[in-house]
Structures are given as structure tokens and as C-alpha cells.
């Protein structure tokens, strides 16, 4: 059990993870020091992720107007001394203050943008839809999942993409940044529909135009849970 005081607590809910095989040359320049790309089926992967960031508290304090919001990010997978984790290409939130604080203090690649989140629950299904306005257009993801949620096995594709206890990044002085993300294992809603309208080059840079016609190898709709984030030296 983690006895250190968490930096951030929240509930991350109704997470869409659209998982794409990505050419290694796109990711290699972004790998933090001491880390290496994590592969599944011999390939490198990145995930478009959108979710609800709810009941947010920083150092135990919930700031009015900054507790419930959507996040949209592009992340990829690395390992460090046997610890599997994620790194971020870019992260979007609606709040300029949240984005600027994360970027200036922690060198996290946050940007602020106009965003929406819409989750609809029915007895037999749940629908999660997220949008992001950037570069003069609206980008969107939508997934429908069956209810009730189920727990995939430890060897499943869903488990590989959704369960990571570590985040890694590169500090302003070029050193490795580590943080631990603590949450119970997530159930998933088996995905029955998925649609995405995304301009990769607009969101992530011209080199990502190579992904414009790519289809996801898998899509996960995770129920989510309460999370705690602990910075590590």
C-alpha cells in the first residue's frame, strides 16, 4: 500500500482507448531517457485516449471549476527497468490553467482546447463520445459498449493496453520523470461500435500524417475508477 501523499486524486471514467500500430521511427525520438519501447506482437503501439476526469483534487484540494472535465491524449508504451508504463505525445484539456500548470511545472505536453464529453447509459449499453476542436476543425471519438462490464484476463489485448502503473516523461534538464498511477483493475464494456474522425497531422504534427488512413488494431472501452498519482524521484 502506498503511504506517500498523492499529488493528484480523481476518477477516470468511461475511457475510450483506440489502439494503433505505429512505425517505430515516429516514437523513437520521444522515448524518455532510460526507457525502451514496449512491443506487443512485435509492433510498437500508440493509443488515442479520451475519458472523463472527475472529482479532481490536487494535494487534497478540489478547485471550483476545475474538478470535472474531459481529457484527450495520444500515448505510447515503454518500459523502464522492467516497469511497464506510458508516455504522452500530447494531452488536451479544456482548461488553460490546468494545461499551463502541467506544462510549465512538470514539462507534460498539455494543451488547452474547446472540448466536449457525453456519456449515455442504457440497460443494455453505454455510449461515450468526446470531441476536441483544434486546428480549425472538430476531432471526435465515439464508442458503444455492451453492459454489464466484464473483467478481461491478464493475457488479453484489453489488459495490455489499459493496465499500467507507471507514467514516464522527460524533464526540462533531459532527465527521466516518473510517476506512479494507482487504481484497481478496470472492467471493460465489450465494444460493439466505434467511430473516429481525427486529423493526426493537425493534432500531433506533420510526421503523424502517416497515420491518417490507419485503422485501430483494437478498441477498449474501460469503465475506469478512482485513481491516485504519486510523483517518484
Best CATH choice for the domain 8-232 from the list 3.30.413.10, 3.30.365.10, 2.40.400.10, 2.60.40.10: 2.40.400.10
**pLDDT at residue 104 is higher than 80:** no
80-84: average pLDDT: 95
Give me the pLDDT at residue 146, please: 98
Domain boundaries, the chain: 8-232
* pLDDT value at residue 59: 55
pLDDT number for residue 139: 98
pLDDT score, position 55: 86
Q: What is the 3-state secondary structure (H, E, C) of the chain?
A: CCCCCCCEEEEEEEEEEEEEEECHHHHHHHCCCCCEECEECCEEEEEEEEEEEEEEEECCECCCCCCCEEEEEEEEEEEECCEEEEEEEEEEECCHHHHHHHHHHHCCCEEECEEEEEEEECCCEEEEEEEEEECCEEEEEEEEEECCCECCCCCCHHHHHHCCCEEEEECCCCCEEEEEEECCCCCECCEEEEEEECCHHHHHCHHHHHHCCCCCCEEEEEEEEEEEEEEEC
pLDDT digits (tens, 9 = 90+) for 192-216: 999 999 999 999 999 999 999 999 9
Q: How confident is the model at residue 100 (pLDDT cuts 50, 70, 90)?
A: confident
Buried b (16+ CB within 10 A) or exposed e, 68-95: ebbbbbbbbbbebeeeebbbbbbbbbbb
Q: Comparing 86-90, 95-99, 145-149, 193-197, which segment has the lowest mean pLDDT?
A: 95-99
Percent of the chain exceeding pLDDT 90 equals: 80
pLDDT at 231 over 90: no
Q: What is the mean pLDDT of the chain?
A: 91
Q: What is the mean pLDDT of residues 36-43?
A: 97
Q: What is the pLDDT of residue 2?
A: 46
What is the average per-residue pLDDT within 84-113?
83
Q: For residue 57, what pLDDT is reported?
A: 77
Residue pLDDT, tens place only, 128-184: 999 999 999 999 999 999 999 999 999 999 999 999 999 999 988 889 999 999 999
HSE-up of residue 201 (Cα within 13 Å, Cβ side): 6
Q: Which residues are CB-contacts of 228 (< 8 A; sequence separation ≥ 6)?
A: 2, 6, 8, 9, 181, 182, 183
Per-residue pLDDT, 29: 96
Amino acid at each position: 500500500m502506498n503511504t506517500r501523499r498523492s499529488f493528484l486524486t480523481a476518477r477516470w471514467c468511461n475511457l475510450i482507448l483506440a489502439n494503433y500500430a505505429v512505425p517505430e521511427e515516429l516514437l523513437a525520438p520521444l522515448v524518455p531517457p532510460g526507457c525502451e519501447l514496449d512491443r506487443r506482437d512485435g509492433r510498437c503501439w500508440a493509443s488515442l485516449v479520451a475519458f472523463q476526469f472527475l472529482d479532481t483534487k490536487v494535494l487534497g484540494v478540489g478547485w471550483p471549476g476545475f474538478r470535472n472535465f474531459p481529457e484527450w491524449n495520444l500515448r505510447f508504451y515503454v518500459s523502464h527497468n522492467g516497469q511497464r508504463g506510458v508516455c504522452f505525445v500530447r494531452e488536451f484539456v479544456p482548461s488553460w490553467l490546468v494545461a499551463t500548470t502541467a506544462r510549465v511545472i512538470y514539462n507534460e505536453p498539455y494543451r488547452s482546447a474547446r472540448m466536449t464529453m457525453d456519456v449515455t447509459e442504457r440497460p443494455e449499453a453505454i455510449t461515450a463520445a468526446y470531441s476536441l476542436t483544434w486546428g480549425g476543425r472538430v476531432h471526435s471519438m465515439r464508442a458503444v459498449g455492451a453492459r454489464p462490464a466484464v473483467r478481461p484476463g491478464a493475457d488479453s489485448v484489453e489488459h495490455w493496453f489499459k493496465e499500467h502503473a507507471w507514467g514516464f516523461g522527460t524533464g526540462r534538464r533531459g532527465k527521466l520523470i516518473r510517476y506512479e498511477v494507482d487504481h484497481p483493475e478496470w472492467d471493460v464494456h465489450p465494444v460493439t461500435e466505434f467511430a473516429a474522425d481525427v486529423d493526426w497531422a493537425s493534432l500531433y504534427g506533420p510526421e503523424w500524417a502517416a497515420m491518417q488512413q490507419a485503422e485501430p488494431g483494437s478498441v477498449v472501452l474501460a469503465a475506469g475508477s478512482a485513481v491516485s498519482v504519486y510523483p517518484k524521484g
